[in-house]
Structure 1
């Protein structure tokens, strides 16, 4: 995905200023920065989740495989299948574990019969590292799982509609350290097949899971590059100040 000159406004207030970024395929890109710096706003631009905010206006272009996702001809439902999203708090549907996974593929016509559906549910849960824990309780509510399991269920649900990109908005902020470690391990595995963009407040997490890091401050993209370089030899003083804890 390529973003060029992206500006975002909430009413009269500008939240992002002329953001240019190339998101690498089959890599994890972390968006870091202080609260209110624009990283979640930018993440939501990538699958047009900002469309649901009445006062939000997006300018500039964001291309996916050469197609501007803000072109009026673009089917937003199809776009959000290609660019899946996992939110800060686990939000399983009030349905069974099985139906949490099967719902999207049925709507999008990805599965034609029960056998295909069964196979996709198992595959998605395996990819999300949840199959062994969930295989004997597929008819039980997804809300009955632990917090970490619920978040992996939400990842499985996103995978089930066969996306190309997975967006994660602070996916571990509501989880304990053990569940967080499982999600981080999962992110490592998933990047072989998916492009992942993650918003995180934890610089340690960004350093552990990502190959690229973008540092946002007050709506500006200050610096973007290899994660190791950003954390060990940043070019900008603001990046240095944030990483060393002088502000944030």
Structure 2
């Protein structure tokens, strides 16, 4: 299908974008996963990426912090700008980029280490703490911001894998924010959780957006409506439309968006 869509890349409030993509194409070998994506992601808001499985949401997300670099046949063309600087510029330090752009995956993946060491890992390798006490402050502060500290403060030496599924996901969020990133990428962070744990994660996302720019891939349109301020709808590797979440869900400009949101098509 070669249908072409036009999607606005202008922020309605005129504010500057934290992340911008320009003509972003992503390939896996000979298969093209994204086609010419132009998208503006505003600061300190939650932008939800929605669309059917295989539509390019995760490929887009992973292009922001160059996680696609880890896929042998992946190739990216176009620009991904973080504060106006192209993250694919050869001069960019990928390790530093991933400290600025943290990522939380669909399945909680705590390291086989203690709760403390899970969170301390990033600050330690980035040399962020000058002393053991300073490292401890970073760990405790990150656990607090992830809403987990009160539940684990008496067992920081226990393995991260001993926690419940929802707690493990919050531990991974604490680990991601411990390096003091500017952006948090979340790839279906609550899809494996029960409704109570999902509600906790959603409340946490709402709190975190005060300090972070958040981009979330979600298969749940209800979740997108609850947690995001802006929504982008992808279809077969193309951006159909994007805009304020309320407008996308109540008055979409494209029929394909309306059909997807109303469940007429998957």
TM-score with structure 2 length normalisation?
0.93
- 2:216 is the counterpart of 1:198: yes
> 2:246 matched to which residue of 1?
228
Distance 1:201 1:84 in 2: 20
TM-score with structure 1 length normalisation?
1.00
- 2:205 is the counterpart of 1:187: yes
Deviations 1:127-174 (A, max 9, x none): 000000010000000000000000000000000000000000000010
Distance 2:121 2:24 in 1: 33
- 2:156 is the counterpart of 1:130: no
> 1:142 matched to which residue of 2?
160
Structure 2 unaligned blocks of 5 or more = 1-18
- 2:113 is the counterpart of 1:85: no
> 1:157 matched to which residue of 2?
175
Alignment of 1:97-108 (within 5 A): 97-108=115-126
How far residue 57 of structure 1 moved from its aligned partner, in angstroms, is 0.5
- 2:23 is the counterpart of 1:8: no
Distance 1:33 1:82 in 2: 27
Distance 1:154 1:26 in 2: 20
Please, which of 218, 229, 242 is the counterpart of residue 211 of structure 1? 229
Distance 1:99 1:15 in 2: 36
Deviations 1:159-218 (A, max 9, x none): 000000000000001000000000000000000000000000000000000000000000
Structure 1 unaligned blocks of 5 or more = none
Alignment of 1:58-97 (within 5 A): 58-97=76-115
Moved over 6 A (4+): none
> 2:37 matched to which residue of 1?
19
How far residue 27 of structure 1 moved from its aligned partner, in angstroms, is 0.1
Q: SS state of the match for residue 71, structure 1?
A: coil
- 2:229 is the counterpart of 1:237: no
How far residue 66 of structure 1 moved from its aligned partner, in angstroms, is 1.4
Distance 1:211 1:72 in 2: 33
Alignment of 1:23-42 (within 5 A): 23-42=41-60
> 1:174 matched to which residue of 2?
192
How far residue 105 of structure 1 moved from its aligned partner, in angstroms, is 0.1
Larger displacement relative to structure 2 (7-16 or 202-211): 7-16
Aligned residues: 248
What is the Cα-based RMSD across aligned positions, in Å?
A: 0.4
> 1:115 matched to which residue of 2?
133
